[in-house]
Amino acid sequence: MPRLLSLLLAFLVATSALFGALPTMAQETPRPWPTKEWATSSPEEQGMSSERLARLVEFGGFNDMDSLLVTRHGRIVLETTYAPFRAGLKHRINSATKAVVSTLIAMAIRDGKLDSTDRHVVAFFADRTIANLDERKKAITIRHLLDMTSGLEWSEGLDGFKSFLAMERSPDWQQFILDRPMSEAPGTLFYYDSGNSHLLSAILSKVTGRSALDYARETLFGPLGIDDVTWRADPQGVSGGGAGLYMHPRDLAKIGYLYLRGGMWEGKQVLPASWIDGVRKANVDMRESWAQNLRYGSQFWVMPARDVYMAVGYDRQLIVVMPKLDIVAVATGSARFPSASGMPTRPRYSFDTLVGSLVAAATGDAPLPANPAATAELARLVKEAAAERPGPVGEQPAMAKTISGKTWRFAPNELRIKWVTYKLDGAEPSFEYEVEGGPATPAARFGGPIGFDGYYSVGGRQRYGLSAARGRWLSDGTTFVLETQTLGNDDAARVTHVFGDRTVEVNFEAASGYKTTLKGRTDD
């Protein structure tokens, strides 16, 4: 009998080991592929709390988000746009572009177009004469560029944008970067340097024979079903490596989902799993007091303690990948002028706060009971976020008719604006201006409608998207304030005009902090 009992127990253990996982596998819903469109779901169906996601929507409203999207188990459980940004528009992702360039480097290695990240950078530019070329500069590798440890002298990040802006104003961005003197031996110290990223894009062009944009269309954007992007290029046609990519939030989530699924897409290994593993284990110390819990590697920001990694762009353009919770979150944001204070604000929230809120919202892995009250509250907040709050309104003075239709011309200026004209006395107020061409941008005319009811009027165009503008006259009858932005471009500005007899003084203030004054006149 004891022997029979022991045999029975052994049989039960064996069958349990063999078949014990089958019920879980049978109950698990297959993860969808959002190539054509994202599947959607209630938060509770994916083990997330609508009540806690509602608090996250409020958080985004207080912290200058333009959009917030959360996916779990391959389904969108939250999608919010904050006015005046709206669904269906691309957003400038700033330095999150770097993560896309990094991904393309991995694909170039996969395709055999690049044999190693240990290749020396200057070897790719043998056709150029490089200034300050010493043994340290010769030792810079692609890995150093990926990890921001090249040692090139640069001023960016908390030090401002001095080097980045100087690069963009130069006729040859690649030469500008390559000519920088060395400040450290490569591999010694981390320093945030968008020049490193632009060299990666230039190397991609050299090894693939096409721009990063065209290579991405074939190898990354195409397979993922991403077909509506804009990517700025340098004067030589090299896609901006450090910034310059415009994408829809849903398409940004596809990039994150590719990483979340281990590089697989519709059954194919699109991105090497080993590359993703390297990103998750990034260990470059960023050497910042505010970033003690962060590490850097392969153009990604990593939170090792949480097993979270992110593509990060200025003003919190984010792709957040959370493997343990099967979550991808996307946030976009912009600087702006709130109506209440008139002082510019911008997204400043901590990564820990956002990630902590997502962790708190994922209360379980299995579906939760439906919560109709919380679902309704979440839907209400999402709807409110998309509704624009009006700004102040002023009375239209006689000056509006006096200046309408006239062309106001300016001496050469930093904004490269040649002239501007306003139509303010009719039923459809509008503005138009011409910008001189630069090293990487042609001369062009821009403008659009102006709202005088406190709301942005959307239409016309700016260089990288839809124009949104609203205006008001101050009580002195000669001062006109125009608030303008390109939706999704993070370029909100307040332009104050003081009109005189055939003269105008224009005080331009960007929400990002840039200020300048232009003086113009009209001969009309």
Residue 90: HSE in the Cβ half-sphere, 13 Å Cα cutoff:
16
Beta bridge partners of 75: 39, 72
Q: H/E element holding 165?
A: helix 162-169
- Looking at residues 493-509, what average pLDDT do you find? 95
Question: Cβ contacts of residue 444 below 8 Å, gap of 6+?
Answer: 434, 435, 437, 463
DSSP structure string for 447-501:
EEE-BSSSS-EEEEEETTEEEEEEEEE-TTSSEEEEEEEETTSS--EEEEEEE-S
- Alpha-helical regions (H) of 86-126: 97-110
Cβ neighbours of 169 (radius 10 Å)? 13
CA angle in degrees (0–180, nearest 5) for 511-343-521: 60
Decide which of 159 and 418 is more confident: 418
The CATH 3.40.710.10 portion of the chain extends over: 39-385
Please tell me the predicted confidence (pLDDT) of residue 259: 98
Residue pLDDT, tens place only, 92-107: 999 999 999 999 999 9
Evaluate if residue 338 carries a pLDDT over 90.
no
Please tell me the predicted confidence (pLDDT) of residue 151: 97
Architecture of domain 39-385: 3-Layer(aba) Sandwich (3.40)
Evaluate if residue 18 carries a pLDDT over 80.
no
3-state secondary structure of 209: coil
CATH number 2.40.128.20 given to 399-521: yes
Structure tokens at 163: 């080097």
Residue pLDDT, tens place only, 443-484: 999 999 999 999 999 999 999 999 999 999 999 999 999 999
Please tell me the predicted confidence (pLDDT) of residue 405: 94
- Looking at residues 281-289, what average pLDDT do you find? 90
Decide which of 338 and 423 is more confident: 423
Structure tokens at 348: 């400043």
Residue 426 binned pLDDT confidence (cut-offs 50, 70, 90): confident
Evaluate if residue 12 carries a pLDDT over 80.
no
Above pLDDT 70, what percent of the chain?
A: 94
The CATH 2.40.128.20 portion of the chain extends over: 399-521
Residue pLDDT, tens place only, 256-281: 999 999 999 999 999 999 999 999 99
